[in-house]
Amino acid sequence: MRIVHTSDWHVGRRWKGLQRLDELAAVLEHLAAFVEREAIDLVLHTGDVFESRNPPAEAEQLVNRFMLRVGRAGAQMLVIAGNHDDPARLDARSLLTELVDVQIIGRPRSAARGGSRIVEVRGGEKAVVAALPFASPGAWVSALDIVGEEESARRQYARMFELAVRDLCGAFRRDAVNLLMAHTHLEGALFGESERRVHIADDWAASPQALPRAASYVALGHLHKPQRVDVRVPAYYAGSLIQLDFGEAGEEKTFNVVTASPGKRGTVEQVPYEGGQPLLDLRLSLAELEATADRYRKGWLRVTVPLTARDPDLNRKVRELLPNALVVRAELPEADEASESPLETGLPPVGHYAAYHFRVHGQAAKLAVLDTFQDLYDQVSGEG
């Protein structure tokens, strides 16, 4: 049985003014074509399909198109909800997607209530999939425990994860490929810079010891850095679909292709996604940017420019060379950065701006500039 493990698409995410749907469409086109070309039997998606609980229609259309295409290719697909998804909406969506062999599990549930599924692929082979969507600390730990004894509550959270996995994996069979999929943070796993830290703090991590050794493969979602997390069993975070923030600049994004058979550990190959724009973090002087700009026309850039003095026109100069620079930062000598003077008390906002303008530019602001500032301030204050 050949299995594809993908995760953390975050379709609909708006980042620095971009929604990046064209990139996501290109990457999903590559993934769908791979499923078709390689005659993949089963696709596992381990959560955070969408960026929000109420994604834009364009994001839903993109996801629906992928699911329809994979189903028509003859592959089975299982999806679980992540912390960004709306579990109730995903459960409702499953009523339709099951018509194209795409099963979605939004809420955590016991094996007896559908948390474990038996999937028969096109060749007649069977897989038992124990599926555990994201469960927040509040779902498993009472508020009283959290407030009264935090350490005990954290242990209880890990214990509840262990009990849930034990129940779900109780449906494993010797004559089937046994799989666990979960959206959670495991102790010791490495995260990047694009996850919401409130959901992945070590305080609320589950233990890798809870993973079943009888599984041929454990598919994990939640962390955006592709990685293996346990040596006793093939347990992997597939990672995100594209580089989601500059903290992931240069990080290769991959999906896992697993070859598995009953009673044996799966073999895993990591295949790079194609179609996403790379994120680059550059530190170059203006002269260096002018000399090498052609090299950085593709992708999204964060550009840091070392300066000896402040340059109020820096953004324009950089973006004329590189329109794809989303972030432009000036790197000033420490003495210049530390030379901020305290605000004078009693001044109106326009007075503070006038003092700032003189401090930065070495000359007084023109009356027209101060009038514009006052007009804008009045408008904002009125709206507030």
Q: Is the pLDDT of residue 340 over 80?
A: no
Q: Residue 323: which residues within 8 A CB-CB, separation 6 or more?
A: none
Backbone angles phi, psi at 231, to 5 degrees: -95, -15
Question: Among residues 83, 2, 45, which one has the least CA distance to residue 220?
Answer: 45
Residue 265: C-alpha distances to residues 116, 162, 179 (Å): 19, 21, 10
**Residue found under tokens 């262990």:** 162
pLDDT in tens, 202-234: 457 889 999 999 999 999 999 999 999 987 899
Strand order across the 300-306 sheet: 279-283, 300-306, 325-331
Cross-strand partners of 105: 80
**Number of alpha carbons in the 13 Å side-chain half-sphere of residue 108:** 21
Alpha helical stretches, state H, 210-304: 286-292
**The predicted structure's pLDDT at residue 44:** 98
User: Above 50 in pLDDT, residue 173?
Assistant: yes
What are 304-329's pLDDT values in tens digits?
999 999 999 999 999 999 999 999 99
Q: How far apart are CA 28 and CA 66, in angstroms?
A: 7
Residue 85 has pLDDT above 90, yes or no: yes
- Alpha carbon dihedral 142, 224, 50, 131, in 10-degree steps, equals -60
Report the pLDDT value the prediction gives residue 338, as an integer from 0 to 100. Answer: 45
Q: How far apart are the first and last CA of the chain?
A: 59
Beta bridge partners of 257: 4, 269
* Chain Cα centroid distance, residue 40: 24
Instruction: Quote the mean pLDDT of the chain.
Output: 90
The string of pLDDT tens digits covering residues 137-147 is 777 776 556 55
Amino acid at site 217: Y
The pLDDT value recorded for residue 141 is 75
Of 194-198, 202-206, 296-300, 345-349, the least confident: 194-198
Q: 135 vs 334, which has greater pLDDT?
A: 135
Contacts of 120 (CB under 8 A, 6+ apart): 76, 126
Name the band, by pLDDT with cuts 50, 70 and 90, for residue 198: very low
Q: What residues contact 194, with CB distance under 8 A and at least 6 apart?
A: 224, 240, 244, 245, 247, 248
Per-residue burial over 211-250, b = 16 or more CB atoms within 10 Å of its CB, e = otherwise: bbeebbbbbbbbbbbbbbbbeebbbbbbbbbbbbbbbbbe
Reported as a pLDDT band with limits 50, 70 and 90, residue 235 is very high
Confidence at residue 371, expressed as pLDDT on a 0 to 100 scale: 85
Per-residue model confidence (pLDDT) at position 84: 96
This prediction's pTM: 0.83
Assess contact for 83 and 119: CB atoms under 8 A: no
Q: Considering only residues 133 and 202, tell me which one the structure prediction assigns the higher pLDDT.
A: 133
Q: What's the average model confidence in pLDDT over 338-358?
A: 74
Q: Please classify residue 27 by burial: count the beta carbons closer than 10 Å to its beta carbon, then call 0-12 exposed, 13-18 middle and 19+ buried.
A: buried
| All domains in the chain, ordered by first residue | 2-272 (3.60.21.10), 278-339 (3.30.160), 345-384 (no CATH)
Give the pLDDT confidence score for residue 361 in this predicted structure. 78
- CA–CA gap between residue 1 and residue 3 (Å, rounded): 6
- Give the model confidence (pLDDT) of 20-70 as tens digits: 999 999 999 999 999 999 999 999 999 999 999 999 999 999 999 999 999
Distance of alpha carbon 320 from alpha carbon 16, whole angstroms: 19
Is 257 within 8 Å of 4 (Cβ atoms)? yes
Task: Identify the DSSP state of 346.
Answer: T
Q: What is the C-alpha to C-alpha distance for residues 355 and 251, in angstroms, rounded to an integer? A: 43
383 versus 160: which is more confidently predicted?
160
Asked if pLDDT for residue 285 goes beyond 90, the answer is: yes
Rounded to whole angstroms, how far apart are CA atoms 317 and 302?
14
> Which of these ranges, 192-196, 227-231, 296-300, has the smallest mean pLDDT?
192-196
Given a contact cutoff of 8 angstroms between Cβ atoms, the answer to whether 258 and 266 are in contact is: yes
**Residue 201 pLDDT grade (very low, low, confident, very high; cuts 50, 70, 90):** very low
Place of tokens 């500039």: 369
